[in-house]
């Protein structure tokens, strides 16, 4: 089925078997009653799959997990409490102290901090490389490299990551590529370009209404973790926390789901951070209209990019639609149906002009969020990137007059009018 249909019908939920409810019920419960002692024993032994306790699985979360996995073309999903938790789990599922990963430098600020500082506490090293040259990933890797990590459409530079090129290099070395696809749901399908795992901050476009924090990890089921067994001890070595289970073996009856199965049965069990059933319901609600909203987000952003490109107070516009050369080629090779709704531009007057522009906006909200149905704006140099010095800001693509917009689904005339009056 096509994305528009999967967003409404995909995954495990059809009608609730006990009530016939068409909408996914919010199973706001901690625990699930066992049928008898044998049933309880089989669930704990993983001989039968079923609900035990909401830290580990929940039917409302399952409806979201299976629907989003279907939408991305993966085999299974795991819902967690935030995008940050999703990224943390993606890495901890493969890495132990002494291991490393290679990551693109173009990252969400929270991910950068997690990688540069917090993972160090666990003895996990993150090697940052410039994605301009895909070979940089291979050059930075060694026997203890467990995965590569990048974002499809990272802001503020908004240069699409060369997923296909890097995934192919990785597969030749037996190293999986994990993609943060938060900013490009529907318009990019990382599994089609060779990624092994996809994560989302569902907080953004999937939720779409700025109400709930959540994250999702999706297993592509397309990476042979056993073939490269030495590189993935967490998946191929007997696990003492599960009677010596080897996850690549234990997953076999269920399909190619070793990665996500181990994440649920070990990391979610031990570290926690599940998504709440209520938030899963909110994300299901958002997901139903995501394909429609993305169309409008993208068509509005295209118009804003063209409008700003012709404005005399604007020195440059950053959006894949106006990229040139290799950046444009990468955008066109990986995006279909739109160039996303994040957009940056540089004001002639620098920092003061950037701040004044933000203050004059009436329709746009001034917030740190992105992917809301409403249009949003922020001045990164004085907010999200203010901890960096001017040199570091420049390296990350933030100039003093840079303004970041997340274009919403309002009528384009009203969006352009607000930008026009604030620029004036
Ligand atoms: C917001 C965001 C995250 C973190 O997600 P939270 O849900 O806020 O924890 C990760 N990656 C990207 C690209 C994001 O925009």
pLDDT digits (tens, 9 = 90+) for 48-79: 889 999 999 999 999 999 999 999 999 999 99
Residues 6+ apart with CB under 8 A from 47: none
Confidence class of residue 46 from pLDDT cuts 50, 70 and 90?
Answer: confident
The rounded mean pLDDT for the chain is 96
Whether 313 has a pLDDT exceeding 80, the answer reads: yes
Relative to the CA of 183, which ligand 1 atom is closest?
Answer: 13
Counting Cα atoms < 13 Å in the Cβ hemisphere of 395 gives 9
Confidence class of residue 381 from pLDDT cuts 50, 70 and 90?
Answer: confident
Whether 22 has a pLDDT exceeding 80, the answer reads: yes
Q: Which two tokens stand for residue 104?
A: 């693109």
Measured over all CA atoms, what is the biggest interatomic distance in the chain, rounded to whole angstroms?
74
pLDDT digits (tens, 9 = 90+) for 180-198: 999 999 999 999 999 999 9
Domain 290-423 = CATH 3.90.1150.10:
yes
Model pLDDT, residue 259: 98
**pLDDT above 90 coverage of the chain, percent:** 89
Domain ranges of the chain: 3-278, 290-423
Model pLDDT, residue 57: 96
Relative to the CA of 151, which ligand 1 atom is closest?
Answer: 13
Counting Cα atoms < 13 Å in the Cβ hemisphere of 157 gives 23
Residues 6+ apart with CB under 8 A from 306: 321
What is the distance in A from the centroid of ligand 1 to the CA of 357? 26
User: Do 3-278 and 290-423 share a fold?
Assistant: no
What is the distance in A from the centroid of ligand 1 to the CA of 232? 26
Model pLDDT, residue 131: 96
The DSSP symbol for 153 reads S
- When the candidates are 3.30.300.30, 3.40.640.10, 3.40.50.1980, 3.40.1190.10, the CATH number that belongs to 3-278 is 3.40.640.10
Relative to the CA of 87, which ligand 1 atom is closest?
Answer: 10
Q: Which of 82, 84, 378 to mutate to test the pocket of ligand 1 (most atoms within 8 A of CB)?
A: 84
Residue nearest to atom 11 of ligand 1 (CA): 108
Model pLDDT, residue 47: 86
The DSSP symbol for 339 reads -
Ligand 1 pocket: which residues have CB below 6 Å? 82-84, 108, 110-111, 151, 180, 182-183, 201, 203-204, 213, 215, 370
Whether 388 has a pLDDT exceeding 80, the answer reads: no
Residue nearest to atom 5 of ligand 1 (CA): 83
- H or E stretch at 59: helix 59-72
């Amino acid at each position: 089925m096509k994305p528009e249909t999967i967003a409404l019908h995909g995954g495990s939920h059809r009608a609730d078997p006990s009530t016939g409810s068409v909408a996914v019920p919010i199973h706001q419960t901690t625990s699930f009653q066992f049928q008898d002692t044998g049933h309880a024993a089989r669930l704990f032994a993983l001989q039968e799959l079923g609900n035990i306790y909401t830290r580990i699985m929940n039917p409302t979360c399952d409806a979201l997990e299976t629907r989003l996995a279907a939408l991305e073309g993966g085999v299974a999903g795991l819902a967690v409490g935030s995008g940050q938790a999703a990224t943390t789990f993606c890495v901890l599922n493969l890495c132990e102290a002494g291991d490393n990963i290679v990551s693109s430098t173009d990252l969400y600020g929270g991910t950068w901090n997690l990688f540069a500082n917090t993972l160090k506490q666990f003895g996990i090293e993150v090697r940052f490389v410039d994605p301009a040259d895909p070979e940089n990933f291979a050059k930075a890797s060694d026997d203890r490299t467990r995965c590569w990590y990048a974002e499809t459409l990272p802001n503020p530079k908004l240069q699409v990551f060369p997923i296909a090129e890097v995934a192919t290099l990785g597969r030749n070395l037996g190293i999986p590529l994990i993609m943060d696809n938060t900013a490009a749901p529907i318009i990019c399908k990382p599994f089609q370009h060779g990624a092994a795992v996809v994560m989302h901050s569902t907080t953004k476009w999937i939720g779409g209404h700025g109400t709930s924090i959540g994250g999702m990890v999706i297993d592509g089921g397309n990476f042979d973790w056993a073939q490269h067994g030495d590189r993935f001890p967490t998946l191929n070595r007997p696990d003492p926390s599960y009677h010596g289970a080897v996850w690549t073996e234990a997953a076999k009856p269920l399909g190619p789901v070793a990665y996500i199965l181990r994440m649920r049965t070990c990391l979610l069990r031990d570290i926690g951070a599940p998504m709440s059933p209520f938030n899963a319901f909110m994300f299901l609600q958002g997901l139903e209209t995501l394909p429609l909203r993305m169309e409008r987000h993208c068509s509005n952003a295209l118009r804003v990019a063209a409008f700003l490109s012709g404005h005399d107070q604007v020195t440059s516009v950053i959006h894949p639609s106006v990229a040139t050369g290799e950046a444009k080629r990468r955008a066109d090779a990986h995006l279909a149906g739109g160039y996303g709704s994040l957009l940056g531009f540089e004001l002639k007057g620098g920092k003061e002009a950037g701040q004044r522009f933000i203050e004059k906006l009436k329709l746009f909200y001034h917030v740190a969020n992105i992917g809301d149905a409403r249009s949003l704006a922020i001045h990164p140099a004085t907010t999200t990137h203010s901890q960096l010095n001017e040199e570091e800001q420049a390296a990350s693509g933030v100039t003093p007059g840079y303004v970041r917009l997340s274009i919403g689904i309002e009528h384009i005339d009203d969006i352009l009018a607000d930008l026009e009056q604030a620029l004036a």
